[in-house]
Chain A
């Protein structure tokens, strides 16, 4: 099911969510071979960062809570990885983060020169006090960071948004106005907390963490629906997508591509092939196409 996205041909409309598996070339390639059209790298930061102590990721059964805490070698310490990736046969989306507009610009300019197919700005991570989400909850700061990064990069820019924003459609519009080429929604929801009542202690070492997986799907669908009405750039929809029918649902809300993260836990790395097949089967059974159903949930109302 070939798809064109911002001028690139992808072999499927599925995207690997950032922070899930994508730690080296071999695993990005394996995910691609298993039916993922666009693997996203783990978010790259301005300096070496270990992330939080464990526990960092807990499976709650109907989704996960995590506060991994943006571990990164730092953009200057990834030379071998870029070398390896330089002769890749597959597209990559490089996710980046920073603690200030300047840091975003520095990382983005450097990473852009390494030749990823897309750069995704993570302005939406809840798991660090100084990074990410503080940008994505405010339209002005989202605009500022997107506009500044857009000036220094040579590949399409994707802004990744948080459902914690009071008005995610407004943030998406601010990103579009600042030059974003696409929107990716959503990052993890919450943050939430789980407490172990025997030890009377929050389970995550960072105490709070972002929610993902099936339990957040309705939030993701609502966010994509709202964003679709406020922007004309394409949307990567993700958050709790595990099956073909989940994918169809978020496409009807307005997504052009569909991201998968937590479902790797529930259905394995082959989840991409499975979801592609389920999408195709559904489309065939209903005699329709992806193009025809994209945004279909808006039609009566529009």
Chain B
């Protein structure tokens, strides 16, 4: 059984390769789940890292990994029968609200992973009208192209698919295109992607009086709010988050500015993003 205590060793049931950079590993085990929550994934002898649950059904879940550094490259090379340790789920997940009529979901790159189960949950009969705005560097970085029935607006930085430009441009257009008598136009905007993109989404939402929720990443160790590795201003990302609403963001000192390295040193966000585990 997968719990927040000792990692449970489970077999990878299936691996789906999306592109040279992305693969999803499926595990045939039940796990408690709310969209936006994450698990700690342990590869014995390598390391342990947080991954959001990107696929979920009663007897199966999946994580989607972008091959980046030593750990994630190892993870995407795993196949059926390989064993990994899982503990979790951790974090608060998205607040899906009650009776939302219209929501927007703004995803950048791998940020689609936590948002995908949210979009699926909204796609049910009495769910809100959901506008999905999905962006990536180029076509091959667009995750899950055939997964949703919801309306999707696609953008790529290089124009290889959809609009050439930023998801935030589309968000502004869509907000402005809504009839003026709908105020606010969206009941909630959900976003995950590069922090600078989420900060821009937050800024746009603030300017239009729309509440928003973002999912943050920081270096993690325990995953349950004790070690302090993941703090962002006064917020403990693994425990209070990783999803934060507008109210928390307004007073979160380090949002879109600084993050702690593995040493605990506080550095500008670009320095944090360039840092690699050895």
Q: Which A residues form the contact surface with B (CB < 8 A)? A: 19-24, 26-27, 29-30, 42, 48-51, 53-61, 64, 66, 68, 71-74, 77-78, 80-81, 194, 196, 198-199, 201, 203, 205, 261-262, 264-265, 268-269
Contact = CB atoms under 8 A, between A and B. Distances in A.
Interface of B: 4-7, 9, 40, 42, 44-45, 47-49, 83, 85, 87, 221-222, 224-229, 231, 233-234, 236, 253-254, 260-266, 277
Contacts of A27: 228, 231, 234, 236
Contact of B226 (A64, A77, A203): A64
A-B pairs with lowest CB-CB distance, top 7: A73-B265, A198-B9, A54-B48, A57-B222, A26-B234, A23-B228, A21-B228
A297 B221 CA distance: 39
A215 B235 CA distance: 28
A114 to B, nearest CB: 16
B264 to A, nearest CB: 5
Contacts of B221: 51, 54, 56-57, 68
Given A77-B263, A265-B222, 11 more contacts: A24-B254, A54-B42, A54-B48, A55-B48, A58-B87, A59-B5, A72-B263, A74-B263, A77-B265, A80-B266, A262-B226
A265 B238 CA distance: 12
Contacts of A55: 7, 40, 42, 48
A19 B48 contact: no
A267 B44 CA distance: 30
Nearest to A23: B228
A198 B226 CA distance: 27
A169 to B, nearest CB: 30
A20 B83 contact: no
Contacts of B40: 54-55
A222 B191 CA distance: 51
A23 B231 contact: yes
A234 B262 CA distance: 35
Contacts of A19: 227-228
A81 B265 CA distance: 9
Contacts of B260: 23-24
B227 A201 contact: no
Given A23-B260, A26-B234, A42-B264, A196 B48 contact: no
Contact of B45 (A24, A56, A71, A201): A201
Contacts of B265: 48, 73, 77-78
B242 to A, nearest CB: 16
A81 B7 CA distance: 35
A58 B266 contact: no
Q: Which of B228, B253, B266 has the most CB of A within 10 A?
A: B228
Contact of B5 (A30, A61, A77): A61
A222 B141 CA distance: 58
Contact of A59 (B4, B229, B253, B261): B4
